[in-house]
A and B are shown apart, each in its own frame.
Chain A
Amino acid sequence: MKAIFYRDLLFFQAQKKAVLIAIPLFTLWSLFIQQGIFTLSLFIGFVTIQIVAILQEDVACGYHELVYATLGAKPYILSKYVGSVMAASGATLILLPILLLVRWLAGQSLELLLVSILLSWYATFFILSIIIPLYLFTKASLSQVIFFILFIVPLLLAGVLSIKWDMTAEQITTILLPYLSIGAIGVSLIYGISLLFSLYYSKRS
């Protein structure tokens, strides 16, 4: 699996400049225009875009088949699921000092910070649960459309609803707080099922 992670790391490295530019811009935008840490934590979700970009490139150049032929399908599939968790953890750790700084500057609560990070994780892994098998076993064009819908629609919906209801991040947190543990169980379950499905289906394709 080291070999597969090596390729993923190279991909992430190539994105380094873009991320270094994007983080300060996103931080300023979330601090002065949006809802501070509630918005900034969404940046963790951009891991999804990176994973999808890797999958798309792998499928386009046939790299996944090369890995299947040299190592087998199982290590490749496992690496995508494990790698996503590692990438999300890495993104959270990198973002944490900036999140703490923004929290302090915006005077937001620690509770909001926790809820924001968790919501980003839930969204990330919910989307990946659906997108990884789609990219592995269906046409890339179909996967792209579904990914776009899964990624953009919730963001638009959240934006529209928060404007319509005129709710602050703290108010949204208060509403969502009771459902966080159910969310964690639900997303873990969906992600686990997705992994098992991908492993099973790879033997049948």
Chain B
Amino acid sequence: MNVIACNKVTRLFDTFTLSYVDLALPEGVIMGLIGENGAGKTSLIKCLLNLYHLNHGEIKLFGEPHNINEAALKQRIGVVFDDLHLPPNFTTRHANQFYKLTYTNWDEPYFFTLVKQLHLPTQQKVSKFSRGMRMKLAIALALASHPKLLILDEPTSGLDPIMRDEILDLLVQFMDEDATRSILFSSHITTDLDKIADMITFIHKGRIRFTTTKDDLFYKHGRFSGSEEEFLAIPEEAVISSRKTSIGVEALVLREQVNTAFALQTPTIEDIMLFYARGDK
């Protein structure tokens, strides 16, 4: 079953359009939503959560339309935005109370276990929290209702590598506990997705450029690095995009269409995102 199913989702903004987005997130999968700033990741997430209405298309969550019976659907979803979004005078205890009144399956003991595990203070106002503490609290709040779907919008941006690693560990632990859980994880820090994502969706200028499994992504793409003469021997249709460097040419190519004689490197997700975004084939 697809936990998220977007069909030709379109939303017009003043300076930007989310165009005909088709997206399917299967149950039990961590999907990384990648794209540069302003590509449409947050807009798409806000459409999924019915924060923006659609000009065209439909969204189904757990097989049901996202805007009908919304409150019941949202009981099964945990959300983490790029910041905590709680009033400044709230403490961790206040946040617990607020979520307890929001979610019917709120697990208070589990929440405080997470709070302890993440070394979060319980009496301090959230306005005094560091960015890392705010994001850890946001994730603990999203996890403690035991959601079936976790939607994360840039949860690791602005965090140091240690803090990011801690958050990624929590997400892995969350997935390990129940095989029917799914995560949609938007980020432009692609190394995080290298570590945990099963599938990658790349969004560029409001359009989905590809959705594929991470293994497929690495299998299908290769990174060419060599002289201009060598590069010219690669069929044009195999090149996603290229750039000239001081020592020659770097390019992202489709492995299947390139002669095996070329020693292609395995690209990182960041390479793939950058070359697709550049698109100057």
Interface, chain A (partner B; CB < 8 A)? 2-3, 6-7, 10-11, 14, 57-58, 61-63, 65-66, 68-73, 75, 203-205
Contacts and interface: CB of A to CB of B under 8 A. Distances in A.
9 contacts: A6-B101, A10-B89, A11-B89, A61-B87, A66-B81, A69-B49, A69-B79, A69-B81, A71-B102
A7 B102 contact: no
Nearest to B101: A3
B79 A63 contact: no
Interface residues of B, number: 24
Contact of A72 (B50, B53, B97): B50
A71 B81 contact: no
Q: At the interface, is chain B mostly helix, strand, loop or mixed?
A: loop
A68 B87 contact: no
Given A10-B94, A62-B81, A75-B71, A68 B89 contact: no
Contact of A2 (B52, B70, B79, B101): B101
B139 to A, nearest CB: 14
Given A3-B98, A3-B102, A6-B97, A69 B86 contact: no
B98 A62 contact: no
Nearest to A67: B102
B51 A70 contact: no
B102 A10 contact: no
A193 B98 CA distance: 30
Contacts of B71: 71-72, 75
B74 A7 contact: no
B225 to A, nearest CB: 43
Contacts of B74: 69-72
Nearest to B49: A69
Contacts of B51: 65, 68-69, 73
Contacts of A63: 85-87
Interface string B36-80: 000000000000011111000000000000000011001000010
Contact of A65 (B81, B97, B102): B81
Contact of A62 (B50, B83, B102, B103): B83
A72 B83 CA distance: 19
- Counting chain B CB atoms within 10 Å of each CB, the highest count among A70, A73, A203, A205 belongs to A70
Given A3-B101, A58-B87, 13 more contacts: A7-B87, A7-B90, A10-B94, A61-B87, A62-B81, A63-B87, A66-B85, A66-B86, A68-B50, A70-B79, A71-B71, A71-B102, A205-B52
Contacts of B158: none
B248 interface: no
Nearest to B102: A3
Nearest to B67: A203
A7 B71 CA distance: 19
B279 interface: no
Contacts of B88: 57, 61
B148 to A, nearest CB: 14
Nearest to B89: A14
Contacts of B79: 66, 69-70
- Counting chain A CB atoms within 10 Å of each CB, the highest count among B53, B86, B88, B101 belongs to B101
Contact of A204 (B50, B53, B103): B53
Contact of B98 (A7, A11, A65, A72): A7
A204 B86 CA distance: 25
Contacts of A10: 87, 89-90, 94
